[in-house]
Amino acid sequence: MAVLDELLEYQKIDGELRKIEQEVAASEERKKYMQAKKFMNTAGEKLDAQDNRAVELKKAARNLAMRFKQLSEELADYSALDEMVEEGGEISYYKKNVQTLADNLRAIKGELQKLVGEIENACDEYKRMKEQTISMQKQYREYSEKFKEVKESRAADVNAINKKLSAIAAKIPADILEKYTVKRKDIFPVVAPLTNGRCICGMEFSIALLGKLTGGQVIECEHCRRIIYNK
């Protein structure tokens, strides 16, 4: 029972530390800092993606321009259509070829117009991303310092609590304290009393498990993994 009492006292003081941690985590300074940090972590990849997109669009524009020039030159060959007919050429054949070339030119022109729109959008997006990156870099530097100040403003309280925790920790077996520390990352309180045959998460225990709660013994909730004791 003595170990359980020490663990409960440890948790009580640890609750004060957790409250400070939550207050710091919920601070506007941390939110702004984390927002900028998250953006900065992916900004490089996004800008690289924009650069790659620009290269692709430039290549596509160059290819379309070459196709347009080639078709224009082919169509120019039919500028002397009357002479070609006089020399014995089949007019229907020539007209069909001219129509096909003209249709292809119109199609390429449409593709070029669409591509120009995509390039303009890509340029606007790149400009927006660059401006946002500069803004977030400034926010990151500013709120990195502000968040540091928030943490430093609670440092004395945190140190005082940690001293109390260290004193109590010396009385608790290392394996039990380690188990508490691991669980504490996901749940709090870690150690909770049995309430109407249930864990505080609502999990109901079997009679066999409840039978183990004697003489200061504890059990573990199969649902939330809390350490349960009987008051």
- Cβ atoms within 10 Å, residue 99: 10
Contact 115, 60 (CB under 8 A): yes
Residues 52 and 92 in one domain: yes
Residue 163 lies in a domain: no
In a domain, 46, yes or no: yes
Specify the CATH number for the domain of residue 77: 1.10.287
Give the integer Cα–Cα distance in Å for 35 and 30. Answer: 8
pLDDT, mean of residues 92-104:
71
**pTM, to two decimals:** 0.69
Per residue in 181-203, pLDDT tens?
A: 999 999 999 999 999 889 999 99
Q: Show which of 98, 122, 142 is a domain's final residue.
A: 142
Q: Which residues contact 213 (CB under 8 A, 6 or more apart)?
A: 194, 219, 228, 229, 230
Cβ proximity of 150 and 33 under 8 Å: no
Let me know if residue 152 belongs to a domain. Answer: no
Number of separate domains in the chain: 2
How does residue 65 score in pLDDT terms, banded at 50, 70 and 90?
confident
Domain boundary among 126, 142, 158: 142
Whether omega before 189 lies within 30 degrees of 0, making that bond cis, reads: yes
Determine the average pLDDT of the residues in 37-51: 83
